Chains A and B, each alone.
Chain A
Amino acid sequence: MTNQTNNLLDLKGTVLNIQRYCSHDGPGIRTTVFLKGCSLRCKWCSNPESIRKRPELSYDLNKCKGKACSLCLKAPFPEGAFYFVDGEDAHVKVNWHLAMDIDTEMALLCPTGALEMFGKIMTVGEVLDEVEKDSSFYRNTGGGMTISGGELMFQPDFAAALLQEAHNRGFNTAIETASNIPWANIEKVLPHVDTMLHDIKLMNSERHKKWTGVGNERILANLKRAYETFSDIDFIARTPLIPGVNCDDEHILGVLEFIKPHKNVIDYELLPYHRFGLGKYELLGEVYELDDYKTPSDEVVKRYQAMIDEAFGRKKETPVN
């Protein structure tokens, strides 16, 4: 093994989770590596635990034994980070401002696992060893490794090293990105990518800023430049479809107009909004901002899917009598 490879394998990053047997994050059966840290703050985010780059504490009320345990009310836990209120409620309450300083080592002291950390520091070698476990599936299905987030290019060197090493081991590579990063980060990562799934959340920049925290000018410029610079990559555009935010003709047609001139954009996928991330906001002691929003109806999704199929020249199958 060369020194360069050794260095690559030793590079460290913050990993949220490694999920095996994924079928929606690129071709074939895949292992998806979720990195921590994101450069957007989408109000509908279903992965709030992926937003901040640093590992952070979660507290699961259902696993906590409350007053029967009380270990977290004593040292070495920070004074005041956990407490009880007067009365019958035996549940531990968390003062999140004081609990945010708790690290992985301390969280492990919780005997029931009610305290856990979202995210851990791993080396490229450790991640790839985990990914390697399903290599036979990749060979049989055309699958491989996908890196998602957060925003994977928030950790560009680590992401690039993971992808490069995956290629070295013969795995297909894919990424899921929102592309709100400097072009220099993209340039580091894309040479090691086979498929890039990228969001286009809102075509209108003002509305993009309202819902995600920043305008979309750089995202669109990055995407256009990526389409033109990396002609060997298969690009798949995606929109998380949210009624009241972007579930309208203007957005869908705007995306189609943006991607269609580029032949290496091979598809446009709709991801109907869901509310499954709500429980995770509670684990982090946060409140979900998009509480009133609903999932789009089947009819609406089908209508927009038909528009996309038509744009990509896919004919609707006629039922056989």
Chain B
Amino acid sequence: MATEIGNVSALKRIAIMVGAGYVPGINAVIIGAAMAANKMGWELVGIRDGFEGLLNPEKYPDGGLLILSPQLIDTIDPSAGCVLGQSPRVDPFNVRIVDEMDMVEEVDMSDDLIKKLKDENIDSLISVVGARGLTIIHKLHRKGLNTVCIPRSIDNDIASTSVSFGFNSALTFTIEMLDSARQGAQAIRKIVVVEVQGEEAGWIALQSGIAACADVVLIPEIPVDLKMVAEKLKNKISARRPYALVVVAQGAKFINLTKKAEADPALKASLSPLATSESNSEHVIQSSGQAAETVATELQQLIAEETYPLVIGPWVRGSSPTAVDRQLGMAYGAGALQALKAGKDGTMVAFVPPEIKFVPLAEAINKVRTVPADSELLKIAQSLGIYCGK
């Protein structure tokens, strides 16, 4: 039954979906959205596992949609894993399927998705997504989907918002891990190279590196020559301090790397058309662990002390949400409902202190919030003697 609160008069059915990859604080977003929806007299339903619960409901014995009633919300632990499950990386415009003929194929299921939302009487969709997901949702919006996005990023690389939820938890966890790595480096008397999150933006590496008193911090924004890093480390390492901590972001870029051995030319006989030489582009995000491995291996050739690569990797996603992220999550969830109530369809909720703003999706995409060259944080790092490539 419709409840009239304020200027909201009609019962609306809103859905919420969470894109691929767990980020600490997601349950807080869901709880915040559900509480705000309840206050407006709207119904909020959660789609299980990204869009899976909608596209393939037969997979779920209890249905692909979960009604987020006040009674259910009371039982959700804000610090636990996502109540809606985990999504594989899915782009509804390019869904990989195995058809009845056992052939693998990518198909466009965007029309099907929008139709299923209509069939379920869902008026609008709240999409909790990262930078990649924003574009997909923007494309769906251009096809007629009513939606408001909530930015989530443990790298804090979404440009239109000052802080994405999940970042603070990831940063806190990374600092704890670096503290342990630093003690480990002291114990084993080695240069420990720790790879942390950050494909395009070095916020986590820089901020955690400062907090953990790292000797070197390498971020994607500043390509470095590892020979220079080696020189700096030689100056820092001594008989009394025979260890060092190097923090490297996953997407850090290196210049003048030792060239890999040429491939056996005989193999080129089996080359396919348009084949090119082995990639040496800096534009491909390497697999997890590669940055630490590259730095550790290269330094090993340039410096007498032994190096030891470590990767925090997906562990950071399993960290508990901090107080900051729980508050942010609740605020983002409630903010999405405010946007829908205000008719701000096709926007992203942005936290620009002290305000919550609604940024059009077309303006939110194609931007990365990177560490600027004149960042105060970089200046702080330099004043502490932390080498950042400059």
Contacts and interface: CB of A to CB of B under 8 A. Distances in A.
Interface of A: 16-17, 19, 24, 32, 34, 38-41, 46-47, 49, 52-53, 61, 79-80, 83, 85-87, 93, 95, 97-98, 100, 118, 154, 180-182, 213-215, 218, 271-272, 274-282, 287-288, 291-292, 295, 298
B239 interface: no
Given A83-B366, A97-B135, A19 B267 contact: no
Contact of B102 (A214, A274, A276, A291): A214
Contacts of B290: 291
Interface string B83-102: 00000000101101010011
Contact of A93 (B277, B362, B366): B366
B105 interface: yes
Contacts of A100: 93-94
Nearest to B105: A39
A127 to B, nearest CB: 14
29 contacts: A24-B270, A34-B272, A34-B273, A41-B104, A52-B106, A53-B105, A61-B283, A80-B138, A85-B368, A85-B370, A97-B93, A97-B132, A97-B139, A98-B135, A98-B139, A100-B94, A154-B103, A182-B101, A214-B98, A272-B270, A275-B278, A275-B279, A276-B263, A276-B267, A277-B275, A278-B278, A279-B276, A279-B277, A288-B279
A40 B135 contact: no
A277 B272 contact: yes
A191 to B, nearest CB: 21
Main secondary structure of the interface of B (DSSP, over half): loop
A276 B278 contact: yes
Given A281-B284, A288-B284, A291-B286, A17 B274 contact: yes
B73 interface: no
B187 interface: no
Nearest to A51: B106
B365 interface: yes
Contact of A180 (B102, B285, B362, B373): B102
Interface string B71-91: 000000000000000000001
Given A95-B365, A287-B285, A24 B269 contact: yes
Interface in B271-315: 271-279, 281, 283-287, 290
A247 B263 CA distance: 19
B138 A213 contact: no
B281 A282 contact: yes
Contact of A80 (B272, B275, B365, B373): B365
Nearest to A83: B366
Nearest to B133: A97
A218 B98 CA distance: 14
Interface residues of B, number: 45
B353 to A, nearest CB: 21
Contacts of A24: 269-270
Contacts of A97: 91, 93, 132, 135-136, 139
A86 B369 CA distance: 10
A85 B91 contact: no
B264 interface: yes
B103 A39 contact: yes
Given A38-B104, A61-B281, A118-B274, 8 more contacts: A86-B370, A154-B103, A181-B103, A213-B104, A215-B102, A272-B270, A274-B263, A279-B277
B107 to A, nearest CB: 10
A40 B104 contact: yes
B278 A41 contact: no
A291 B287 contact: yes
A31 to B, nearest CB: 11
A292 B287 contact: yes
Contacts of A180: 102-103
A287 B362 CA distance: 25
B341 interface: no
Contact of A295 (B96, B264, B273, B284): B264
B273 A275 contact: no
B287 A280 contact: no
Interface string B158-169: 000000000000
B286 A17 contact: no
B367 interface: yes
Contacts of B279: 275, 278-279, 281-282, 288
B268 interface: yes
Contacts of A277: 272, 275
Contacts of A274: 263, 267-268, 270-271
Given A24-B270, A46-B275, A39 B104 contact: yes
A182 B101 CA distance: 7
Nearest to B104: A213
Contacts of A46: 272, 275
Nearest to B94: A100
A218 B104 CA distance: 13
A280 B136 CA distance: 23
Contacts of B286: 291
Nearest to B139: A97
B109 to A, nearest CB: 14
B187 to A, nearest CB: 29
Given A16-B273, A85-B367, A279-B277, A295 B139 contact: no
Nearest to A58: B274
Interface centre among B96, B104, B139 (most CB of A within 10 A): B104
| CB-CB nearest 3 A-B residue pairs | A279-B276, A278-B279, A39-B103
Nearest to A118: B274
B263 A280 contact: no
A271 B268 CA distance: 11
A271 B277 contact: no
Contact of A282 (B93, B268, B274, B284): B284
A214 to B, nearest CB: 5
Most chain A CB within a 10 A radius of its CB, from B135, B264, B270, B370: B270
B271 to A, nearest CB: 6
A120 to B, nearest CB: 13
A16 B365 CA distance: 32
A39 B267 CA distance: 26
Contacts of A288: 279, 284
